[in-house]
Amino acid sequence: MANTVPDITLNDGNTIPQLGFGVYQIAPEDTVEAVGTALEIGYRHIDTAEMYGNEAEVGEAIRRSGLDRDEVFVTSKLNNGFHRPDDARKAFESTLAALKMDHIDLFLIHWPLPTRYDGDFVSTWKTLEEFQRDGRARSIGVSNFQVAHLERLAAATDVVPAVNQIEVHPYFGNEEVRAYGRAHGIPTEAWSPIAQGAVLDDPTLVDIAQELDRTVAQVVLRWHVQRGDIVFPKSSTPRRIEENFHIFDFELDDATMERITSLDKGEAGRQGPNPDTFDYIPA
């Protein structure tokens, strides 16, 4: 079985490689090398954000790779301090300037921040719609949106988010938000797909990995893709970047999928902040 990364078709007709490379917590000085390694191995989708402080280095790595701009799918996200429409416009221009690109493939509202901005993320979303209309963002989406936030957008706007990027891993299935996405044509992007390493010593996962002669990270990433979600594990370690790419040449049977899904601890399994209360704005 060849290790080929499938494309997922979004509700706006664009496609995204189901496996990408995440660059959260990669220091800017290490980003060119890490992204360069990922592109050499075959990744064609990079997930960055204004908040990560490494957009410029992502752009640099793509240029140095010798690949055409259109061969690499690039996502970035609006920083939390810039939800007001005029600030969002300036922030989006800064993203394109940092990347040295005239368009981005996917731009997201990073967090809904329902306790900030008088609870208004609708005008922020309408501002992202402008970027899509003028062609500078091929697709637009959201991140960390709960069902109530998605329902509010659906009631107040016409453009359905192309993705919702949320925390998902075996300890936190986030099933209600995923189910809303499935029902409304919004693919889930699963962030922290291996829970930043927290699931790697799980005895059930270790057993499954041994049975299949794979690593735990590969088994968990494979579980995500068989559920239809989009993933972009982060690693600064070349061996792991390579390992995480090789997940399309084996399959988990239904019983194994269920064993992994049943590790869900509900809210207790969440590793990151709860989007209903998260209100962080970087200085």
Whether the CB-CB separation of 49 and 82 falls below 8 Å is answered with no
Question: Phi first, then psi: what are they for 149, rounded to 5°?
Answer: -70, -40
Helix ranges (H only) for the chain are 28-41, 55-65, 85-99, 122-133, 147-156, 175-183, 203-212, 216-226, 238-245, 254-261
Q: Does 232 bind ligand NAP (CB under 6 A)?
A: yes
Determine, following the binding rule CB under 6 A, whether residue 94 of this chain makes contact with ligand NAP.
no
Question: Any bridge partners for residue 167, and if so which?
Answer: 191
Q: Which of 52, 117, 171, 280 is catalytic?
A: 52
The least CB distance from residue 167 to ligand NAP, in Å, is 7
What is the number of the residue whose Cβ is closest to ligand NAP?
22
Residues 99-128, interacting with ligand NAP (CB under 6 A) = 110
Is 54 a binding residue for ligand NAP by CB under 6 A? The answer is: no
DSSP 18: S
The reply to whether 171 belongs to the active site is no
Q: C-beta of 78: minimal distance to ligand NAP in Å?
A: 11
CB 43 within 8 Å of CB 20: yes
Q: Exactly one of 194, 219, 225, 230 binds ligand NAP (CB under 6 A); which one? A: 194
Nearest-10 Cα torsion for 273, 274, 279, 281: 30
The span of 7-15, 19-27, 53-61, 131-139 binding ligand NAP (CB under 6 A) equals: 19-27
Stretch of 57-65, 98-106, 124-132, 233-241 lying at the interface with ligand NAP (CB under 6 A): 233-241
215 secondary structure, DSSP code: -
DSSP state at residue 227: T
Per CB under 6 A, the list member of 103, 126, 240, 259 interacting with ligand NAP is: 240
Characterize 227-241 residue by residue with b for buried, 16 or more Cβ atoms within 10 angstroms of its Cβ, and e for exposed.
Answer: bebbbbbbbeeeeeb
Q: Is 256 in the site for ligand NAP (CB under 6 A)?
A: no
Edge to edge, the sheet with strand 45-47 lists 21-22, 45-47, 73-78, 104-109, 137-143, 164-167, 188-191, 230-231
What character string, x for contact with ligand NAP (CB under 6 A) and - otherwise, covers 138-167?
-----xx--------------------x--
Residue among 125, 233, 245, 260 that touches ligand NAP (CB under 6 A) = 233
- Least distance (Å) between residue 236 CB and ligand NAP: 4
Q: Which is nearer to ligand NAP, 191 or 254 (CB)?
A: 191
Query: For ligand NAP, which is the closer residue by CB, 197 or 266?
Result: 197
By the rule CB under 6 A, 188 interacts with ligand NAP: no
| Residue 25 token pair | 């917590």
Task: Point out the residues that are catalytic.
Answer: 52
Residues that bind ligand NAP (CB under 6 A): 22-24, 47, 110, 143-144, 165, 191-197, 200, 215, 217, 232-237, 240, 243-244, 272
